[in-house]
Amino acid sequence: MLIRAAQSVLIVIDIQERLVPAMQAPARTVRNTRLLLEAAAECGVPALLSEQYPKGLGHTVPEIAAVAGAARVIPKTHFSCMEEPAFRDAFKALGRRQAVLVGMEAHVCVVQTAASLLEEEYDVFVVSDATASRTLESEQACLTRMTASGAFVVTTEMVVFEWLAKAGTPAFKRLLPSIR
């Protein structure tokens, strides 16, 4: 199954000021999330960002917020984005069938969001090099569980190139320097 720009929503989960420093490979996660946000903007893919209890965990890190553009940022207290009414309504209003997930922590909020989406029969793609947990074991267990549950584990470049679908387009030419 291809990840199609016209059917996708990019969901950026809880990449927040007090979470990022505690994660495994936080620079990789932030860098790849930035690229996905840039690619989403180029390819017409809407993005939604969540913030878990921002009063305690801070807001989305500036590196992500700077490229989020018009993406809506929705605070939450549920671990699954889809259990938070405001987020659920915003996602459903987009009318798309594919969810591309990135964020923190993989084994808590990302996995629970994926599970909620799968329960509702959405196509779920978890970007392995743009998700993170505090421990490698938790991150790996999350990816294993999501694969077994029917989610697709993909990489940043897989998503970008499937959204682009074709070389030589203006969007491809604009994104190419960021991919190299």
Q: Which residues are catalytic?
A: 14, 76, 109
The contacts of residue 93 (CB under 8 Å, 6+ apart) are: none
Three-state SS letters, the chain: CCCCHHHEEEEEECCECCCHHHCCCHHHHHHHHHHHHHHHHHHCCCEEEEEECHHHHCCECHHHHCCCCCCEEEEECCCCHHHCHHHHHHHHHCCCCEEEEEEECHHHHHHHHHHHHHHCCCEEEEEEEEEECCCHHHHHHHHHHHHHHCCEEECHHHHHHHHHCCCCCHHHHHHHHHHC
